[in-house]
Structure 1
Amino acid sequence: MLLTNHSMVEQLKLTDRKIELIKKLFDLTRADADNLLAAEPFITRNLDAIVEEFYAKQLTHLEVEIVIGDSETLSRLKNSMRGYIQEVFSGTYDQNYVTNRLRVGKVHKRIGVSPALYMSAVRLLWDILSDQFEKQYEEGHCSRDEADRRQRSLTKLLMFDVQFVFETYTGALVAEVQKAKQELEDYAHDLAETVAKQTKELRELSCQDGLTRLFNHRAFYERMRVELASCARRKEPLTLVYFDLNDFKLLNDNYGHIVGDQMLEALGSTILNSIRETDIACRYGGDEFCIIMPGATNGHAKDVCERLINGFVSRNDKHKISFSIGICQTGPDKLMSGDELVIAADKRMYLAKAQAKLEPGFWLCDTQESLGKFGMFVCGDGG
């Protein structure tokens, strides 16, 4: 709820009925209104003197002078005080009257008037107005009894006013507490999101190879364990593609490590663009890479390898670097362990590498006996 969409009376739910109930609490009756209204002509004639006396006494206190601060503010406050005293003796204490009291409280709270300063001002005003009643009696404008009744009615009304002023004080304090609470909750929420984001980023960084943006060696075994367990539950196969770059050391020696790193970075990007959404690509170490393919057979793996090789050749035909690839499928009936799968795929990769030394190019081995060169893949038995 926007506070600016509602008046202070609406915010505090001060209906006419509730205002009348509060009047009863203070024993503020129609007779009291008549008593104060009867004093209005005399008060109005002396209004300027009353206001000047009030502020002359108020400004003897340094704290009050500091709060008021300047002559323009003092002039505005004097005008406001004239209006307030006229309202006090108007005989009408309805919702508009209450709204003005709430507004006074809000202004006093905003400019830093403490409750003690406000109450001392109310006490001073009561004294000055009580003296006016005495003057009325002394000058023959009213009887002793009338002067006393007017003083008692004034006491009731000022106490009635004070409680509305303090409604705004306490309301402002509650609003400040709620605002502070909301800000704290927002801060805690933002902090939690920041921590979660940073934790996620740190976790990703700890699992990611900085150069290729693929999973690193540590993450490879974690993901392998998870995916093997998942495939076991679903009774699905899992295939591991294990490959490295042929003569990569020679590339580093001839062109430098910067060119070698650029080659690895390009390979990482090509791998990510070639694999399926469910596949997990990892940099196993140095120039060795693995692709975990849950739910995939050797045939699926060869399709991915062909896309990978085509993509890599189109981006890196300058240096004529090729791969040696080992593929091993496990499951669906019986699954190897992660270590067994890596060892089997690694052995097949070295068979392909041995063949690449005899005849350069992209070689793939998917069983102990089956070797194929890029463009002439031979399907094996699935390991």
Structure 2
Amino acid sequence: MVEQLKLTDRKIELIKKLFYLSKEDENNLLAAEPFITRNLDVIVEEFYAKQLTHSEVEIVIGDSETLSRLKNSMRGYIQEVFSGTYDQNYVTNRLRVGIVHKRIGVSPALYMSAVRLLWDILSDQFEKQYEEGLCSRNEADERQRSLTKLLMFDVQFVFETYTGALVAEVQKAKQELEDYARDLVETVAKQTKELQELFSQDGLTRLLNHRAFYERIRIELAGCARRKEPLTLVYFDLNDFKLLNDHYGHIVGDHMLEALGATILSSIRETDIACRYGGDEFCIIMPGATNGHAKDVCERLINGFVARNERHQISFSIGICQTGPDKPMSGDELVMAADARMYLAKAQAKLEPGFWLCDTQETLGKFGLFASGDDA
């Protein structure tokens, strides 16, 4: 995004002038830093306590782990606000905030209400500084004015990622910053790839990992709830995979898992999310899908897998669970239900080897003979 905007140090300074953000404002905010830092935890807790009174915010935040991460990010942001340094690194962080907010579906109204709330809380802190004799009335008012300028400066960068109205400017400055853009794109791409692989991707199968699975299922469940659509989870593992590893070695097992990852990606819809849940267990999140859609995907997956693995006779045990929109389930409940059904299918596979699927607590089907059944 920095590359697209051509944000050189000189351009950042020009934008500061548009907002009348001066060196004096930087010094005003820096002077308030010691007091703000001492009260940082109080500020962050107050901010999220008030934010969570809104149901839309609760849906976006979701779970306690996400909330903890957001609190840490807010602490970092507030410290940046009062650092007195608003350079290219500072601007890059603001653009990342915009990209993340847009990606997870935070509306401009929700974002602006959060900015307004933060402004109120920090303004109260300036009043406390004045009341405790740590600054004069004029100094408190100046700090508040400087904060207003900086927050507006931040907001316009965040909203650039929402509007996308930057193409003409990028084209105009392309020749001037071509060398700079090439180096920056390469650096950003490398860092982005490393972060994605570290935090969200399973290195062997190239599917999303266990941690990313829970982040995505929370987001997709919230999205389906807003759209009043169903969501189906496919949960499966390989039968007797340990025996394969023990007999042929882990290299053969790894090759099979790699092939399975590729087969899953070629079998699912564009809107589906494939994950390696752990070991030889896999999940497919299917937003907007019913049990019937899930069975179609399972059939394509099984056909593709069999074609790729003719040498080793390995089958799946599959559990399918559909939720919403009338009786929605949480992510944990959905996983538990699909996992339980997978184990019912696995028990049947021990009696009669093959690909078995269970999509309700009482309905079992063998590959090619899937029985119907829908959840509420």
TM-score (norm 2): 0.52
Contact 2:209/2:275 (8 A) holds in 1: yes
1:197 aligns with 2:189: yes
Q: For residues 29-52 of structure 1, give each alpha carbon's deviation from its aligned partner in whole angstroms, at most 9, with x where no partner exists.
A: xxxxxxxxxxxxxxxxxxxxxxxx
- When Rg is computed on C-alpha atoms for both structures, the one with the higher figure is 1
SS in 1 for 2:283: strand
Taking the aligned partners of 2:214 and 2:174, their CA distance within structure 1 comes to 44
Q: Distance in 2 between matches of 1:182 and 1:268?
A: 40
- Which residue pairs with 2:352 in the alignment? 359
CA drift at 1:333: 2.0
C-alpha contact 2:238 2:314 (8 A) present in aligned 1: yes
Q: Give the aligned partner of residue 211 of structure 1.
A: 204
Within the candidate set 260, 267, 270, 1:277 is matched to 270
Equivalences, count = 203
Q: CA deviation at 1:185?
A: 4.1
- Please list, as runs of the form range in 1=range in 2, the aligned pairs for 1:360-379 lying within 5 A after superposition: 360-379=353-372
Corresponding residue of 1:333: 326
Aligned AA for 1:338?
G
What is the CA distance between 1:187 and its match in structure 2? 4.5
Aligned counterparts of 2:192 and 2:230: Cα–Cα separation in 1: 30
Q: CA deviation at 1:267?
A: 0.6
Partner-residue secondary structure (3-state), 1:376 = coil
Once residues 273 and 381 of structure 1 are traced to their aligned partners in structure 2, the CA distance between those partners, rounded to angstroms, is 25
- Work out whether 1:286 is the aligned partner of 2:284: no
Displacement of 1:264 after TM fit? 0.5
Alpha-carbon separation, structure 2, partners of 1:182 and 1:251? 55
What code does the residue aligned with 1:196 have? V
Q: Which amino acid aligns with 1:205?
A: E
Letter in 2 for 1:318: R
Written as runs of structure 1 = structure 2, the 5 A alignment for 1:1-383 is 185-206=177-198, 207-382=200-375
| Whole-angstrom distance in 2 between the partners of 1:306 and 1:185 | 51
Shift of residue 183, structure 1, vs aligned partner? 9.6
The answer on whether the counterparts of 2:290 and 2:374 sit within 8 Å (CA) in structure 1 is no
Q: Secondary structure of the equivalent of 1:236?
A: coil
8 Å CA contact 2:235–2:284 kept in 1: the answer is yes
C-alpha offsets along residues 188-234 of structure 1, whole Å, 9 cap, x if unaligned?
Answer: 43343223212321232121111111111111111111111111111
CA, structure 1 residues 334+196, in 2 after alignment: closer, same or farther (shift >3 Å)? Answer: farther
Matched residues in 1 for 2:208 and 2:197: separation? 9
Letter aligned with residue 248 of structure 2: Y
Distance across 2 between alignment mates of 1:191 and 1:230: 37
Task: State the distance in 1 between where 2:247 and 2:318 align.
Answer: 24
Q: Distance in 1 between matches of 2:320 and 2:344?
A: 11
Q: Is the contact made by 2:322 and 2:374 (CA closer than 8 Å) also made in structure 1? A: no
CA distance in 2, matches of 1:375, 1:315: 18
Aligned 8 A contact 2:319 2:343 in 1: yes
Gaps of 5+ in 1: 1-180
Mapped to 2, the partners of 1:223 and 1:188 lie a distance apart of: 35
- TM value normalised by structure 1: 0.51
SS in 2 for 1:366: strand
Query: Once the 2 structures are TM-superposed, how far is the Cα of residue 250 of structure 1 from its aligned partner?
Result: 0.2
Aligned-residue sequence identity (percent) comes to 76
